Amino acid sequence: MAGRREGERGKTAPMVAIVGGSKTDVPVLEKAVAILDQLGIANELVVLSAHRTPDQLAQYVEQAAGRGIEVIVAGAGGAAALPGAVAAKTHLPVIGLPIPTENLRGLDSLLSMVQMPKGVPVATVAIGGAENAGLLAAQILAVRYPEIRDKVIQFRADQTRAVLEASRGSKK
């Protein structure tokens, strides 16, 4: 099965970690989970704060590659320190997902993520763009795994077909 590896006791070992800074981020992060699940890519979702649980976050990130994680999606709102804190502790690709906030609608988060210092990159998707974060994680994995590449190609073809069918339906 694409993107699935056997871990301990026959469980599927996750390839993508999705980390949120707060439990309030989870509804947005679950959209990334849904895309990865649709593509058959094993993933895990955890909540660890760069500010409130820094030691646990560092430990989780430092152990991620050894557990088979290959890409990390880090979603955060407000100061949005989480993606940078994650990127600082790993060599794995990190995708920043700005979470919409009440006051600045996530613009503050977006700007924090795209202003990472030289040498600590964080790829960043749109504010609330969890689906694209999941898809970008899949595309990164697709470079190495042909079965994931095939699923990404099929996903894009299905997307194109749906748009064209909707267009044809609106001309009637």
72, 86 contact by CB (below 8 A): yes
pLDDT surpassing 70 at residue 1: no
Task: Give 12-30 pLDDT, tens digit per residue.
Answer: 899 999 999 999 999 999 9
87, 121 contact by CB (below 8 A): yes
75, 21 contact by CB (below 8 A): yes
pLDDT surpassing 80 at residue 8: no
**146 sits in which H/E element:** helix 146-170
* pLDDT reported for residue 10: 52
Name the token pair of 90.
């790993």
Task: Give 62-81 pLDDT, tens digit per residue.
Answer: 999 999 999 999 999 988 99
Task: Give 85-140 pLDDT, tens digit per residue.
Answer: 999 999 999 999 999 998 899 999 999 999 999 999 999 999 999 999 999 999 99
Which residue, among 86, 75, 159, 138, has the nearest Cα to 109 in the 3D structure? Answer: 75
* pLDDT reported for residue 14: 98
Side-chain-side CA neighbours of residue 93 (13 Å)? 16
Identify the structural domains of the chain with CATH numbers, from first to last.
5-170 (3.40.50.1970)
Supply angle C-alpha 120, 126, 129, rounded to 5: 110
